[in-house]
Amino acid sequence: MLSDFDSPKPAETMTTAAVEVTVPDDVSDSQPVAPAIPPSSPVPATPAPTPSHTLIPPAKTRPTLPSAPGFITLLGDTLNDAFFYRSEYSNPTGHYGGDWSRDNIGQTAEGADLDVRRHPSRSGPYTGGEMKTLKTYGYGRYEVVMRPAKGSGLVSSFFTYTGAYEGNPHDEIDIEFLGLDTSRIHFNYFRNGKTGESATFDLPFDAAEADHLYAFEWAPEGITWYVDGEPYYKTVEGDAYLPTTPGSVIFNAWTGKPFMSAWHGKPTFESGAAAHYSCVSFSPMGEETRACSDLFLPRRPSTSHALTAQLSQQPTP
């Protein structure tokens, strides 16, 4: 069981601002909706150019994970092949309904468009778009500004992942949208291939109509998911399914093999439907770094230490 939050109030209109993108120089090879308590009020942002996110300071006795440094990337400025891998490979097994193709990743001044096309491939009758970091990341805050693709059969995701291909157990933390109904958001997580308590929430908007900020904060004590700076969901203390292995940051747009239709809907989407990603960032636990929320939220969100303390548990309907 997980602890849930009150249904957050509709988010304020977001604004964007230009910022110099900082990318590390070195590169390695490589469902239920239920209310509980109101979120804390955000703290007004200051105009200072210093980083504005301070995650829970790690105590000496708290577990740590290896992690690459924090980063922020504005995808309208660069797709940066020295930092992100634009996937180009087949998916003959598993749930994806086609190959990943670099041709399905386009760039505009506003960000990256990852589209899904009705195009025969080695893995099925479709192709999708995916980008992933070359480095891996541990405890900290992960943020994305995005608009999911709309249309039955489509899935738009932002997540961390590691697995057998990297010689690791399957650990994962997800934010997902189904194009069948983009007014809902889905959260999930895995440890060693076993999923924890997934959750689905109704949003006060259609996510496919405008950019919004989505995030999750991963700490040794648990994971908290956010929408436009407001906490939506948190794992309970002692959850046995919390991931423990650093993973790549991945975002993609895809449709699945026929057996996936019961979940994401029949693939009746228009070919070329795209998920749009404007900003991706990671702030390591206990460090202050620039983040997407500094640019896309009018007010600074509070840290999870205040937001998630002593949450009540409520039965789901």
**Tell me: the pLDDT tens digits for 103-135?**
999 999 999 999 999 999 999 999 999 999 999
Pick the CATH number of 62-307 from 3.40.605.10, 3.50.50.60, 2.60.120.200, 1.20.210.10: 2.60.120.200
Closest among 204, 233, 200 to 216, alpha carbons compared: 233
- Is 6's pLDDT higher than 60? no
61: tokens are 């006795």
Q: Is 37 a residue whose pLDDT tops 60?
A: no
Mean pLDDT over 37-49 rounds to 35
pLDDT digits (tens, 9 = 90+) for 244-271: 999 999 999 999 999 999 999 999 999 9
Is residue 172 flagged as an active site residue? yes
Q: How much of the chain is helix, strand and coil, in % rounded to 5?
A: 10, 40, 55
**Residue 15 above 70 pLDDT?**
no
Asked if residue 18 has pLDDT above 50, the reply is no
The structural domains of the chain, with segments of one domain joined by +, span 62-307
User: Can you tell me the mean pLDDT for 272-295?
Assistant: 96
Q: Average of pLDDT values for 61-68?
A: 86
pLDDT at 56: 53
Closest CA to 140 of 45, 247, 37: 247
Q: What is the CB neighbour count within 10 angstroms for residue 117?
A: 22
pLDDT recorded at residue 105:
98
Q: What is the C-alpha separation between 315 and 238, in angstroms, rounded?
A: 18
pLDDT for the residue 231: 97
Lowest mean pLDDT among 28-42, 113-127, 214-228, 280-294: 28-42
pLDDT at position 241, please? Answer: 97
Confidence of residue 78 (pLDDT cuts 50, 70, 90): confident
Tell me which DSSP letter residue 221 carries: T
- Tell me what pLDDT residue 61 has: 63
Position 137 pLDDT exceeds 50: yes
pTM over 0.85: no
Is 178 strand, coil or helix?
A: strand
Question: What does the pLDDT look like over 175-197, one tens digit per residue?
Answer: 999 999 999 999 999 999 999 99
Q: What number of other Cβ atoms are within 10 A of residue 165's Cβ?
A: 9
Compute the mean pLDDT over every residue in the chain, rounded to the nearest whole number: 82
Does residue 21 surpass a pLDDT of 90? Answer: no
Q: What pLDDT, in 10s, does the model give residues 209-248?
A: 999 999 999 999 999 999 999 999 999 989 999 999 999 9
Distance CA 41, CA 18 (A): 26
Residue 205 neighbours by CB under 8 Å, 6+ apart: 10, 11, 183, 212
- Residue 299's pLDDT is 59
Give the whole-number percent of the chain exceeding pLDDT 90: 70
Question: What local confidence, expressed as pLDDT, does residue 107 receive?
Answer: 95
DSSP 76: T
- How many other C-beta atoms are found inside a 10 Å radius of the C-beta of residue 193? 11
- In Å, how far are 127, 134, 170, 275, 280 from 106, measured between CA atoms? 14, 19, 29, 11, 16
Would you say residue 70 has pLDDT above 70? yes
Over range 51-58, report the average pLDDT: 48
Options 130, 172, 217, 230, the catalytic residue: 172
Query: Which residue of the set 130, 176, 221, 230 is catalytic?
Result: 176
| pLDDT score recorded for residue 165 | 87
